[in-house]
C-alpha cells in the first residue's frame, strides 16, 4: 500500500508530506495506482520548482517507493501561496485516486 502522510502547520498550511510504499495493484510496470500517484506527486513538485523560487527539501528512495518533501518556513507570502495551491491540487488528485483504490493508497493528515 502507498501511504501518504501530510503534515500541516497550525495555520493549516502543508509543511511537509511523505509518500512511501508500493500500491501492489498490479505487477511492476503495469500498476496504474502507482503510476498515478507518482505522476501526481512528481508533477506537483516539478510545477513548484518550475513556477516558483521555493527551494523545497526533497528526498527520494534510490529504488522508488519513497518521497519526502519539506516546504521551507521562510518563504515570502506570494511564493508560499503558490506552493500551497500546487500542493493542495496534488492532494485533490491523490484523494481522487484514494477514493477509487482505497485498498492501495491511504492518505493521513497530521
Per-chain mean pLDDT for the chain: 96
> Domain containing 29: what range?
2-109
* DSSP-assigned letter for residue 25: S
Rounded to an integer, the average pLDDT of 19-38 is 94
Number of domains making up the chain: 1
Residue 72 belongs to domain with CATH number: 3.30.70.1490
Under the banding of pLDDT at 50, 70 and 90, the label for residue 46 is very high
Kindly report whether the global pTM for this prediction surpasses the value 0.85: yes
Nearest to 97 by CA among 52, 49, 37: 37
Under the banding of pLDDT at 50, 70 and 90, the label for residue 56 is very high
Does the annotation count 22 as an active-site position? Answer: yes
- The catalytic residue among 22, 28, 104, 110 is 22
Rounded to an integer, the average pLDDT of 69-87 is 97
Amino acid at each position: 500500500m502507498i501511504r501518504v502522510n501530510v503534515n500541516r502547520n497550525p495555520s493549516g498550511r502543508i509543511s511537509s508530506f511523505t509518500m512511501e510504499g508500493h500500491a501492489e495493484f498490479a505487477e511492476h510496470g503495469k500498476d496504474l495506482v502507482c503510476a498515478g500517484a507518482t505522476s501526481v506527486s512528481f508533477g506537483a513538485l516539478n510545477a513548484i520548482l518550475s513556477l516558483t523560487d521555493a527551494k523545497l527539501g526533497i528526498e527520494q528512495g534510490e529504488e522508488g517507493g519513497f518521497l519526502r518533501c519539506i516546504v521551507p518556513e521562510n518563504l515570502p507570502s506570494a511564493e508560499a501561496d503558490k506552493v500551497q495551491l500546487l500542493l493542495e491540487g496534488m492532494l485533490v488528485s491523490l484523494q481522487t485516486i484514494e477514493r477509487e483504490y482505497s485498498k492501495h493508497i491511504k492518505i493521513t493528515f497530521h
